[in-house]
Structure 1
């Protein structure tokens, strides 16, 4: 119901927001000081405390603490201090990486904060919902989530789904009536519009008071996260097993418990791949942040790893493929049985068609087509009837295909009963002769063939107040058709081509009719545009036939929520990775079910945004091409980072293990201080350099990665293991060369260290691509490569030639010849893989990762 008012000033009230002035800016400031911001804040660990707790759960930090303590106990104060400083440095790096990830996620939270409308100083303003204050007059409408508790002061066919609080899924109608005028934060608006005074915000709302339960909800790990964690756990188990062996061997050689424990801890440190979980978290968070900067807001981290696997995108037509401008372009009058253009002089029957179509719309329109009808009514008619009538009864949009009916009445009791909806729905309720219906259907086909969106319009009369339960039970008179044109977006042809190149299929799922949809599909160059199937026809099929039809058709028309949901489920059952684009209330179930739910940032309802895992800020489908590319790039770069970690860890492990087990002359060539030094130098490479790598050529020409595929197949893992073993062979060869030349332990250690460092630098370059040559990857734009590599080389030079550092780490200042031999062997132990890449390119095997 509209708010009661006299017929003489209703229009003025409409223009002045029903004479509601709302708060002034000074009142808003005072209310915010008194009541705070409208946000749900529960007790949680601060970022610093959270990070500190997690740092001391890290196995590497525990090992460093134990090792440092042993050094202090045995009198090696210098080594003990170094490892203590290493703990601080490792913690600082962890804190930096965690804060980097948290900052990225915090920015995402701010970006996904929904907007809401308020009346302040007599004007409607759009603000972020957390800026609402007690006393604000908020405007809420269909498809949105209520941002605060409030009391309704004006409503129009307003109903709310309060299942989040009550568990009941049916809608509850609300109006200004005492006892039925309270609305609550977090509940969904099922229909209509309302203005409400905010009574409670944030933790003081009903939702806020029960929000403590949100703290107990644990984050579910993604499949990729589980795979990586399982891999790390296996490495830890292997590390424990080898640790025990090394401890036992050392003990029976020296019979010194602490000394043998120290040697075993050295190996344990070399085995722990603590960089892998850090790299995963960093890549996902930074990927989400980069997507946000591109205009794609990721609400769930798992979406980042799923993006590169998308095989099908199910998209709406209106506002996604088209501009959503909805210009009224043609009118078909039942009286003249003629299609008219708005450029012509409008006859009285065409004007009446516009009038009835307007009355069939919402009194305060928010749908583009209804806004267009209101604007044209105002332009056509000098005497505006809208102030004279008030809403008396309403039948909301319903049925398959859908229609809606509005009943208005003036002070003298005169009524206007107007309906509009899908032409098929309107024709069904008008009782037309076959001949007349045939003429109308010809007009519908003619209009639809041009890609126009068509609505049927009808009117009725009714005495008394006992209205039919269903709007279809009125005796309607067919008035005509109104046709809107929503042109395709300028970039949509290129977008579809890009998806096709990336191996991603497009399916249009729309509520519009088949002829209109086919016309638009033809204009945008969609293949197989002539074939389509309706929601009703689909739902009649058996499950096996349903799945087959869904796989083979690209265009689905006259769709409704159940049919959309069933299509998504059928595609998933066929092994497809489904991205679903939606913006309406009815898209919620399908968005939630799809692997990637995509909502529109501008025209999307809050319900759609809430159900989706990803939001396109500017409603631009081309951003999905960028998002898929980003998803593929993140996945590929994370693989490079972890393959680098595996390859470089193997020589460190074996350099500690082999001389001891084989009883070589210098069994403990590397001590804990050397291992932690290597970890600190090499660690940033994987999570900083590789995260910043650009997307490789042909990445968007590959087929989507199957979602069920394991992160590492045996071929990739074998590549990393072989790289690591060859580097190990180079390190141990230098060890033997040094011994054969009669060099002492310090010189041998220095040469071994140089091989490890040079191999690390060359591996960073070689593993930037497992297909293209290092000469090609040198041209990749990544400003962090020279920074990180330059820092690594500088540190190595300082360690080798600055006497205090040289002595502390038990190195020797070498002559040029041993240095060059060590660098050359480090180079050869890595560069051989360029031959493998050369063979791949000769085979033109572009799709090999």
Structure 2
């Protein structure tokens, strides 16, 4: 890359500057993460109940029970803090990945580096679509404009260059067009952004729909718990007249109702899901994206760099005089050399677009003398118009001038004063070349001696020089990627700025469905809403697109109740990326503006990762649903087993105390948030249609399944209760048998609910080592409670005979295994 004589800092100067001014980072005062987690924990209803129950035990003189609950508080806290730290670490890694990197010139060479490594005095390159990473003064610029809305609130971009009165650029602003080289004057907290303390860390994400639903569900359960707590306290107080005793028994039921595992499971699944995606090369910036991934019904993809390699090579040149295409390695005639030279002058002096890089390389190859250092750009017209074109005006010290333009062939033909016959011949050539999958560029130049340049580039009197054909080969894996999208019930649409023939040719080569159903941006903008919604549904290729048209497509698809994912990499993709449910930016070729607007970044620009991301989204959602269904199913029998004997005045009305409920809670917590989070994806997941993007987490059938499972387990535990009392067995034996039913049911429910479709014989083969680890710990822990004297006495259990243990285990097993018959019926339908 030509650096216009700019050398930048040397290595010793960088060290000296860093020692003097420090690193380029904002050190805002942040609350200690552990302290924040502890404060949140102290507000948890379950922790509050445990504190109250523990205090009552101590007041009542039951030191052992009080110590057990105090230990339980520590255990619950440790589990919560561990999950919180896993979530925070995952999110911190994501944040680090999404922070922008920059480019500087040091020792005359361009070097990529991290934001915090930029020092005062560096020559920072600010390119179109990137975020400016430090304050500085422009020392060189091409068609440079910057959006300063983060500082000023003004949404219009401001044009600046090294000759402007205002030559300053500021950290945090975004480059809307062109390129500038900026001498860094302030970094970190010394920047304008740093001084006013406006940090992105202060922006809090809104809760997602699923988060709100889960939050509302938990609140309702807390309310229900409060009401039942009062009823139970009143019944107990009526019978015993003891405030403390009845309060303790009421706390037992309140603990059994609270589903405090649900919010923990949700935050764990989302954060670890995002972390797993990051490991696969998919950076998720917002948690709500993880939710939306499993629902995607349409993917809108651009062509260049997503379907194709984005490795532009000059495939040939065409001048009207010869009416044929000459290959780049053939001997070029003088007219063809002029065509290549003119196209290079119409490009940016410091190229960053693959096509412009190819033109500079072609120019260097055919030109013995490099004229680029002798000429300076004195005027330019940025890419504009529909179809688009751009024009640059260069001049040397002797006053020799070049006016060069390039752009869509239709745009250049229109402004070049061609006859109808000439236009027809060139149009035929464009069709032939585009039909072979080439990307076509029109080139023209003009003579303009004065300095009063026209307001619009189209007002120059251009001479049409010819066409350049570029080839950007399709990616090798793209055909299989499309097939996997189609299998998953996801529609794919191509949205590109290229013409219809080139796009159709590439689409046909890669097995894209609907390559022959295309519409241009201009035609699309003429459609009314109803017709537009039908058109975006029926068409699959959208060509000659511009920002307004892209946004219109996204909004029309959303109006059709589609859940839209869209890929993009340029500045102009920003609005559409933000509007899509899932905005996907490219990590390598994506501009910083595209990355900021998107909710997800593909690190390697590989669309295949999007298939994996959607699979992961479906897996996370399915596993979260399994976890919450498990929580509902296992809570119901605990609630009913505690409440029914008391409400109906059975012989042992208070079969469980807080210590029993807490033991069950300590088993259930890891099961739902550790086992189910680690479950692999079921084999039919990517063969199903996308799940509807509805406002409720569970449909009535799923909720009914969980309630039914819970009620049957409750019926089993109450049956064993009655069975024990029928034989006049004491309260300790009855309690132990009922508790054994619940423990057994919990173990088998964990296994059964690993799939609501496949049998336990299939799911037992799923690779998830945590299943047997957690179940093993559960069984061993319960065995210790039954057969170690002090523990058994503390929990007020009694050793069971072989018959009592068998009946309890069998009832627990049968109260869950019946669901396998329903799954078998579902598979055979």
Q: Structure 1-normalised TM-score? A: 0.96
Query: In the TM superposition, what is the alpha-carbon distance from 1:29 to its structure 2 partner?
Result: 4.1
TM alignment of 1:171-186, pairs within 5 A: 171-177=157-163, 179-186=165-172
Please point out which of 64, 78, 85 is paired with 2:64.
78
Match of 1:337 in 2: 323
Secondary structure (helix, strand or coil) at the match of 1:780 reads coil
Q: Does 1:460 align with 2:446?
A: yes
Q: Does 1:107 align with 2:93?
A: yes
Query: In the TM superposition, what is the alpha-carbon distance from 1:30 to its structure 2 partner?
Result: 4.6
Match of 1:731 in 2: 717
Work out the CA distance in 2 between the residues paired with 1:98 and 1:105: 11
Query: In the TM superposition, what is the alpha-carbon distance from 1:208 to its structure 2 partner?
Result: 2.2
Match of 1:10 in 2: none
Change (3 A) 1:36 1:686: farther
Secondary structure (helix, strand or coil) at the match of 1:458 reads strand
Secondary structure (helix, strand or coil) at the match of 2:609 reads helix
Work out the CA distance in 2 between the residues paired with 1:140 and 1:116: 8
Q: Does 1:681 align with 2:667?
A: yes
Q: Does 1:628 align with 2:614?
A: yes
Please point out which of 454, 459, 462 is paired with 1:473.
459
Work out the CA distance in 2 between the residues paired with 1:503 and 1:209: 50
Please point out which of 295, 299, 308 is paired with 1:313.
299
Match of 2:631 in 1: 645
Match of 1:847 in 2: none
Would you say the 8 A contact 2:6–2:105 is kept in 1?
A: no
Query: In the TM superposition, what is the alpha-carbon distance from 1:17 to its structure 2 partner?
Result: 5.8
Query: In the TM superposition, what is the alpha-carbon distance from 1:384 to its structure 2 partner?
Result: 1.5
Residues paired across the two proteins, number: 829
TM alignment of 1:531-570, pairs within 5 A: 531-570=517-556
CA offsets per residue over residues 251-273 of structure 1, 9 Å max, x none?
Answer: 01100001000000000000000
Query: In the TM superposition, what is the alpha-carbon distance from 1:215 to its structure 2 partner?
Result: 6.4
CA offsets per residue over residues 182-227 of structure 1, 9 Å max, x none?
Answer: 1101111122212212222223221223335766644311111111
Would you say the 8 A contact 2:343–2:405 is kept in 1?
A: yes
Change (3 A) 1:618 1:263: same
Change (3 A) 1:214 1:601: closer
Secondary structure (helix, strand or coil) at the match of 1:18 reads coil
Change (3 A) 1:78 1:29: farther
CA offsets per residue over residues 587-608 of structure 1, 9 Å max, x none?
Answer: 0000011111000000000000
Match of 2:114 in 1: 128
Please point out which of 139, 158, 174 is paired with 1:153.
139
Work out the CA distance in 1 between the residues paired with 2:8 and 2:498: 40
Work out the CA distance in 1 between the residues paired with 2:781 and 2:460: 86
Work out the CA distance in 2 between the residues paired with 1:34 and 1:388: 38
Match of 1:744 in 2: 730
Work out the CA distance in 2 between the residues paired with 1:177 and 1:391: 13
Match of 1:204 in 2: 190
Q: Does 1:359 align with 2:326?
A: no
Query: In the TM superposition, what is the alpha-carbon distance from 1:42 to its structure 2 partner?
Result: 2.5
Query: In the TM superposition, what is the alpha-carbon distance from 1:23 to its structure 2 partner?
Result: 4.1
Query: In the TM superposition, what is the alpha-carbon distance from 1:743 to its structure 2 partner?
Result: 1.8
Work out the CA distance in 1 between the residues paired with 2:190 and 2:71: 47
Please point out which of 417, 421, 436 is paired with 1:435.
421
Secondary structure (helix, strand or coil) at the match of 2:5 reads helix
Q: Which moved more, 1:268-277 or 1:539-548?
A: 539-548
CA offsets per residue over residues 440-493 of structure 1, 9 Å max, x none?
Answer: 011101100000000000010001100000000000000000000011110111
Work out the CA distance in 1 between the residues paired with 2:195 and 2:8: 30
Query: In the TM superposition, what is the alpha-carbon distance from 1:130 to its structure 2 partner?
Result: 2.5
Q: Does 1:57 align with 2:47?
A: no
Work out the CA distance in 2 between the residues paired with 1:832 and 1:755: 15
Match of 1:712 in 2: 698
Work out the CA distance in 1 between the residues paired with 2:319 and 2:33: 66
Q: Which moved more, 1:393-402 or 1:167-176?
A: 167-176
Q: Does 1:516 align with 2:502?
A: yes
Work out the CA distance in 1 between the residues paired with 2:451 and 2:156: 25
Match of 1:240 in 2: 226
Query: In the TM superposition, what is the alpha-carbon distance from 1:133 to its structure 2 partner?
Result: 2.3
Work out the CA distance in 2 between the residues paired with 1:583 and 1:174: 24
Please point out which of 150, 163, 166 is paired with 1:164.
150
Would you say the 8 A contact 1:148–1:200 is kept in 2?
A: yes
Please point out which of 471, 479, 496 is paired with 1:493.
479
Please point out which of 68, 72, 85 is paired with 2:54.
68
Match of 1:786 in 2: 772
Match of 1:832 in 2: 818
CA offsets per residue over residues 103-122 of structure 1, 9 Å max, x none?
Answer: 11001001111110012333
Match of 2:9 in 1: 22
Work out the CA distance in 1 between the residues paired with 2:823 and 2:719: 25
Match of 1:846 in 2: none
Secondary structure (helix, strand or coil) at the match of 2:404 reads strand
Query: In the TM superposition, what is the alpha-carbon distance from 1:144 to its structure 2 partner?
Result: 0.8
Match of 2:84 in 1: 98
Query: In the TM superposition, what is the alpha-carbon distance from 1:158 to its structure 2 partner?
Result: 1.8
Query: In the TM superposition, what is the alpha-carbon distance from 1:16 to its structure 2 partner?
Result: 5.7
Work out the CA distance in 1 between the residues paired with 2:265 and 2:694: 22
Work out the CA distance in 2 between the residues paired with 1:23 and 1:336: 52
Match of 1:47 in 2: 33
Would you say the 8 A contact 1:23–1:136 is kept in 2?
A: no
Q: Which moved more, 1:214-223 or 1:464-473?
A: 214-223
Q: Which moved more, 1:338-347 or 1:282-291?
A: 338-347
Would you say the 8 A contact 1:335–1:479 is kept in 2?
A: no
Would you say the 8 A contact 1:582–1:591 is kept in 2?
A: yes
Work out the CA distance in 1 between the residues paired with 2:495 and 2:763: 42
CA offsets per residue over residues 474-524 of structure 1, 9 Å max, x none?
Answer: 000000000000111101111111111111111111100111111111111
CA offsets per residue over residues 51-80 of structure 1, 9 Å max, x none?
Answer: 011001100011011111101111001101
Q: Which moved more, 1:189-198 or 1:616-625?
A: 189-198
Work out the CA distance in 2 between the residues paired with 1:831 and 1:475: 83
Work out the CA distance in 1 between the residues paired with 2:204 and 2:99: 22
Please point out which of 215, 219, 228 is paired with 1:229.
215
Would you say the 8 A contact 2:573–2:594 is kept in 1?
A: yes
Change (3 A) 1:604 1:421: same
Would you say the 8 A contact 2:209–2:695 is kept in 1?
A: no
Please point out which of 241, 256, 269 is paired with 1:270.
256
Would you say the 8 A contact 1:17–1:122 is kept in 2?
A: no
Secondary structure (helix, strand or coil) at the match of 1:416 reads strand
Query: Over the residues paired in the alignment, what is the CA RMSD in angstroms?
Result: 1.4
Change (3 A) 1:181 1:595: same
Would you say the 8 A contact 1:799–1:805 is kept in 2?
A: yes
CA offsets per residue over residues 292-339 of structure 1, 9 Å max, x none?
Answer: 011100001000000011111111111111111111001101222221
Please point out which of 353, 372, 381 is paired with 1:386.
372
Change (3 A) 1:405 1:212: closer
Q: Which moved more, 1:50-59 or 1:661-670?
A: 661-670
Would you say the 8 A contact 1:17–1:123 is kept in 2?
A: no
Query: In the TM superposition, what is the alpha-carbon distance from 1:15 to its structure 2 partner?
Result: 4.7
CA offsets per residue over residues 681-728 of structure 1, 9 Å max, x none?
Answer: 221100000000011121111111111252111111111111111111
Runs of 5+ in structure 1 lacking a partner? 1-13, 844-849
Query: In the TM superposition, what is the alpha-carbon distance from 1:832 to its structure 2 partner?
Result: 0.7
Runs of 5+ in structure 2 lacking a partner? none
